């Protein structure tokens, strides 16, 4: 075990995400303890949504504002109600911009799918979209790792 | 005879690089490979149609050196300030061309060549490729211009040999090198179109470089060839990752509701040990389509590892 302690990088994405996520989990736990723990489906769904938001938010804040996707995700989380109108506006503008460009038809649908998947991907050109995708994939895998290990630690 | 004397007095880079002192400015060495000297030889051959008066030629070489330095400075400036400057700078140079005589025409064409290769070098050091395309492209040109040497030429048909790069960038370079034409609006149009295609080519190279990076990141993308298939794989991978995160959040929520009080001390030092064993059993369930053999590859991807070189 001592070997693994040495391999911890104090400022990597993984540790930053872990700290924030655990803090968020504790906060959610405290809120849940205060209110009544009902086991209806809606409560469960809401609780799950809250944890997912906490996970995404802590990941995005661990990355910071250096990346376009993290900025977009933070913005999305903070202004959740106004977000739909904003997305619609940006996507129409981006669609107009893309019609001028020179992508063939079948690629257009795939890049559209990619844009929908990556947060903030609607308003980027293809080149930076690829870069953001790579970084986003990397962070998603670390997020999955960390959440997995947390779940396993607490379920045993 | 004229051409050898031209080459000798021309102070080409392989001859005396110190005359230029471009070492600090030019991104890659001037005398590497035979490409540059051959292109220099080609330029020497072509100079005779232009500078019919050999008396005036000495001045043109000197002015060429000065112009070349100036245009290399321009090339660093364009490197720094992005590609949009190329169009503006080409217009600047066209005005310069209009004002000077045809003897200097070659000089500014040299400058254009420098600028183009400078902007291309920004894309990750494709120097070797450019020089090989230059040298390969100049060989047929040597053979074609040596016997004929027409005094007036409107076009030189740039033939691409087998296996040569026929992309717009090398074509543009070859056309510009072999074709010092007088400046008309038509030629200017053609040059601007060429510059546009060069810029598009650079953008395409950037995109393909990023696609290669993505292919390294996604586990099953090495066997797939073709942009759309790779994109498909990437989309599937991201979707499965997002589903995995959702599934894990559901699991965590269940855990949370069970273990209310005890969530304080998560031992981070056990972190590394746990991810290996636990992750392997889980990821094989959730990402079945990626094959049972590949999950361990994901787990060993370190965060700071391979991507920093592109960031």
Find, in chain A, the residue whose alpha carbon is nearest to that of B299. Answer: A145
In chain B, where do the E strands start and end? Answer: none
Q: How far is B266 from chain A (nearest CA, A)?
A: 8
Domain ranges, residue A97: 13-155
> Which pLDDT value is given to residue B231?
86
> Which pLDDT value is given to residue A49?
81
Rounded distance, CA B280 to CA B267, Å? 20
Cβ neighbours for A87, distance < 8 A, ≥ 6 positions apart: A122
Nearest to B60 by CA among B2, B3, B6: B6
> Which pLDDT value is given to residue A24?
80
Cβ neighbours for B18, distance < 8 A, ≥ 6 positions apart: none
Task: Provide, rounded to the nearest whole percent, the portion of chain B with pLDDT above 90.
Answer: 5
Instruction: Let me know if residue A95 belongs to a domain.
Output: yes
Residue B211 has pLDDT above 60, yes or no: yes
Rounded distance, CA B183 to CA B189, Å? 10
B186 burial (CB, 10 Å; 0-12 / 13-18 / 19+) is: exposed
- pLDDT, chain B, mean: 56
Rounded distance, CA B173 to CA B127, Å? 13
Rounded distance, CA B222 to CA B233, Å? 10
> Which pLDDT value is given to residue B239?
92
Instruction: Let me know if residue A7 belongs to a domain.
Output: no
Handedness of CA A120, A84, A21, A46 (dihedral sign): negative
Coil vs helix vs strand at B232: helix
State how far the alpha carbon of A95 is from the alpha carbons of A52, A103, A154, B14, in Å. 29, 12, 46, 52
Rounded distance, CA B50 to CA B57, Å? 10
Per-residue pLDDT of B243-284, as tens digits, reads 998 888 888 878 777 766 555 555 554 454 444 444 444 444
Q: Terminus-to-terminus CA distance in chain B, angstroms?
A: 55
Contact call for A151 and B264, based on CB within 8 A:
no
Contact call for A155 and B251, based on CB within 8 A:
yes
Residues of B in contact with A140 (CB under 8 A): 238, 241-242, 245
Domains held by chain A: number: 1
Pair B83, B119: CB distance under 8 Å = yes
pLDDT tens, chain A, 156 aa long: 444 444 567 677 778 788 887 878 777 777 777 765 666 788 777 777 888 888 888 888 888 778 888 888 888 888 875 656 666 777 777 777 766 655 555 555 778 888 888 888 788 888 888 888 888 888 889 888 888 888 888 877
> Which pLDDT value is given to residue A85?
66
Per-residue pLDDT of B30-81, as tens digits, reads 444 443 344 434 443 444 444 344 444 444 444 444 444 444 444 444 444 4
Pair B56, B106: CB distance under 8 Å = no
Instruction: Let me know if residue A8 belongs to a domain.
Output: no
Residues of B in contact with A24 (CB under 8 A): none
Residue B17 has pLDDT above 60, yes or no: no
Residues of A in contact with B238 (CB under 8 A): 114, 117-118, 133, 136-137, 140
Pair A89, A75: CB distance under 8 Å = no
Instruction: Let me know if residue A71 belongs to a domain.
Output: yes
Other C-beta atoms within 10 Å of B161: how many? 10
> Which pLDDT value is given to residue A101?
56
Contact call for B269 and A151, based on CB within 8 A:
no
Nearest to A130 by CA among B294, B300, B311, B220: B311
Pair A61, A143: CB distance under 8 Å = no
Report residue B264: phi and psi, to 5°.
-80, -55
Q: Averaged over B171-187, what is the pLDDT?
A: 74
Instruction: Let me know if residue A6 belongs to a domain.
Output: no
Instruction: Let me know if residue A145 belongs to a domain.
Output: yes
Rounded distance, CA A15 to CA B288, Å? 28
Pair A93, A108: CB distance under 8 Å = no
Its pTM stands at: 0.50
Q: Say which residue, B231 or B145, is predicted with more confidence.
A: B231
Instruction: Let me know if residue A4 belongs to a domain.
Output: no
Q: Residue ranges of the alpha helices (H) in chain B?
A: 2-9, 35-50, 57-81, 84-99, 105-121, 127-148, 168-178, 185-217, 227-258, 271-286, 295-299
Rounded to 5°, the CA angle B150-B156-B161 comes to 125
Residues of A in contact with B296 (CB under 8 A): none
Cβ neighbours for A74, distance < 8 A, ≥ 6 positions apart: A57, A60, A61, A65
Band (pLDDT 50/70/90 cuts) for residue B197 is very high
Contact call for B270 and A4, based on CB within 8 A:
yes
> Which pLDDT value is given to residue B3?
45
Coil vs helix vs strand at B295: helix
Pair B283, B294: CB distance under 8 Å = no
Q: Say which residue, A101 or B129, is predicted with more confidence.
A: A101
Instruction: Let me know if residue A55 belongs to a domain.
Output: yes
ipTM for the complex shown: 0.77
Find, in chain A, the residue whose alpha carbon is nearest to that of B242. Answer: A140
Q: Which of residues 90-149 of A touch B (CB under 8 A)?
A: 106-107, 110-111, 113-114, 117-118, 126-127, 130-131, 133-145, 147-149
Q: Say which residue, B141 or B242, is predicted with more confidence.
A: B242
């Amino acid at each position: 075990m001592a070997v693994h302690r040495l391999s911890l990088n104090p400022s990597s994405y993984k540790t930053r995400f872990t700290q924030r996520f655990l803090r968020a989990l504790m906060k959610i736990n405290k809120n849940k303890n205060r209110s009544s723990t009902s086991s209806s489906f809606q409560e469960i769904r809401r609780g799950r949504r809250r944890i997912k938001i906490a996970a995404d938010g802590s990941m995005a804040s661990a990355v910071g504002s250096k990346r376009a996707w993290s900025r977009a995700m933070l913005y999305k989380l903070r202004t959740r109600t106004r977000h739909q109108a904003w997305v619609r506006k940006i996507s129409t503008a981006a669609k107009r911009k893309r019609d001028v460009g020179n992508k063939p038809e079948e690629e257009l649908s795939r890049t559209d799918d990619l844009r929908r998947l990556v947060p903030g991907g609607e308003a980027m050109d293809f080149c930076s979209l690829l870069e953001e995708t790579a970084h986003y994939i990397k962070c998603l895998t670390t997020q999955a790792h960390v959440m997995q290990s947390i779940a396993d630690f607490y379920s045993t | 005879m004229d051409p050898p004397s031209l080459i000798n007095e021309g102070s080409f880079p392989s001859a005396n690089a110190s005359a230029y002192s471009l070492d600090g400015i030019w991104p890659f060495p001037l005398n590497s490979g035979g490409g540059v000297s051959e292109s220099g030889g080609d330029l020497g051959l072509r100079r005779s149609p232009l500078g019919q008066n050999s008396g005036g030629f000495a001045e043109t070489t000197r002015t060429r050196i000065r112009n070349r330095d100036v245009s290399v400075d321009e090339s660093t400036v364009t490197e720094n300030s992005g590609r949009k400057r190329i169009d503006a700078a080409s217009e600047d140079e066209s005005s310069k061309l209009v004002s000077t005589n045809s003897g200097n025409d070659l000089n500014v064409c040299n400058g254009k060549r420098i600028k183009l290769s400078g902007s291309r070098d920004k894309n990750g050091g494709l120097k070797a490729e450019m020089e090989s395309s230059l040298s390969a492209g100049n060989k047929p040109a040597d053979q074609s211009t040596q016997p004929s040497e027409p005094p007036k030429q409107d076009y030189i048909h740039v033939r691409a040999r087998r296996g040569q790069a026929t992309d717009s960038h090398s074509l543009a370079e070859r056309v510009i090198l072999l074709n010092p034409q007088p400046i008309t609006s038509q030629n200017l149009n053609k040059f601007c179109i060429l510059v546009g295609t060069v810029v598009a080519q650079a953008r395409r190279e950037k995109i393909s470089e990023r696609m290669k990076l993505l292919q390294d990141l996604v586990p099953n993308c090495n066997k797939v060839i073709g942009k759309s298939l790779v994109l498909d794989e990437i989309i599937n991978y991201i979707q499965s990752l997002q589903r995995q995160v959702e599934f894990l959040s559901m699991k965590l929520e269940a855990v949370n509701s069970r273990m209310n009080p005890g969530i304080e001390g998560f031992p981070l030092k056990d972190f590394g040990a746990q991810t290996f064993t636990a992750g392997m059993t889980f990821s094989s369930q959730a990402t079945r389509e990626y094959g049972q053999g590949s999950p361990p590859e994901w787990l060993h991807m370190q965060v700071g590892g391979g991507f920093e070189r592109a960031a």
